[in-house]
């Protein structure tokens, strides 16, 4: 899935000379956590988070409370800013969040801001990609890491006229020469599929249903 399919196009922004109190009011009013800072050409200059604003906001008992909130936003904004392109993959954005320990990236095209993607957007997208929001059953199968295994299993599932919502594959930590394939299939009764898999000597890790041939 591409970034342009999940990004928010309506983005609250501020110029670098805006006051911190303005950012604070916008964060509270729109219940958002990040505000990109842009120039008149919509080019990214920086970004501020609710934490940046909170850290810059003095205690109400501080005599300089009002004065500090009138400082320009550019004094606390983070820069340079990591951005992504609308044609990047959402999975790549998840990697950016993890590696850089951030929770939001502006989306730019021709160096101009056109959208924003947050950690919540990515998490929701991954939920959709895994298919767990649909009525379905999950199968986990340990297989040899060799060519042709995946189509054989999908063909076997297809014999039962069952749609596959999603497929995930990851390395088996216990056995490096094997993979774990996770299927989400659109049935609430996976037992016939499990029996067929086991009859073909596939190792079904989940569900481990009693009474089904091991």
How much is the pTM?
0.79
Domains of the chain in start order, with CATH, are 3-127 (3.10.580.10), 133-206 (3.30.70.260)
Q: What is the mean pLDDT of residues 191-197?
A: 96
Q: How many angstroms separate the CA atoms of 9 and 14, rounded?
A: 15
Residue 133 pLDDT: 76
Residue 55 pLDDT: 87
Residue 85 has pLDDT above 60, yes or no: yes
**Residue 153 tokens, joined:** 């299993």
- Share the mean pLDDT of the chain: 92
Residue 62 pLDDT: 56
The pLDDT tens digits for 148-184 are 999 999 999 999 999 999 999 999 999 999 999 999 9
Q: What is the mean pLDDT of residues 87-108?
A: 96
**Residue 206 tokens, joined:** 């989940």
Q: Does 142 or 58 have the greater pLDDT score?
A: 142
Q: Does 65 or 75 have the greater pLDDT score?
A: 75
């Amino acid at each position: 899935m591409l970034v342009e399919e999940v990004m928010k196009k309506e983005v609250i922004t501020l110029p670098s000379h805006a006051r911190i109190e303005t950012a604070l009011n916008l964060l509270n009013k729109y219940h958002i956590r990040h505000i990109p800072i842009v120039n008149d050409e919509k080019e990214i200059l920086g970004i501020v988070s609710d934490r940046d604003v909170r850290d810059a906001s003095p205690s109400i008992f501080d005599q300089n409370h009002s004065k500090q909130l009138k400082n320009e936003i550019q004094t606390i904004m983070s820069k340079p800013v990591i951005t992504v392109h609308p044609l990047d993959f959402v999975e790549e954005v998840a990697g950016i969040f993890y590696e850089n320990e951030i929770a939001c990236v502006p989306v730019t095209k021709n160096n101009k801001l056109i959208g924003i993607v947050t950690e919540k957007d990515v998490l929701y997208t991954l939920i959709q990609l895994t298919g767990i929001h649909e009525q379905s059953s999950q199968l986990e199968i340990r297989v040899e890491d060799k060519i042709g295994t995946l189509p054989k299993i999908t063909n076997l599932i297809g014999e039962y006229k069952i749609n596959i919502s999603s497929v995930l594959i990851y390395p088996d930590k216990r056995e490096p020469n094997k993979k774990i394939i996770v299927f989400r299939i659109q049935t609430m009764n996976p037992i016939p599929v499990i029996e067929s898999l086991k009859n073909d000597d596939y190792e079904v890790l989940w569900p481990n249903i009693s009474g089904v041939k091991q």
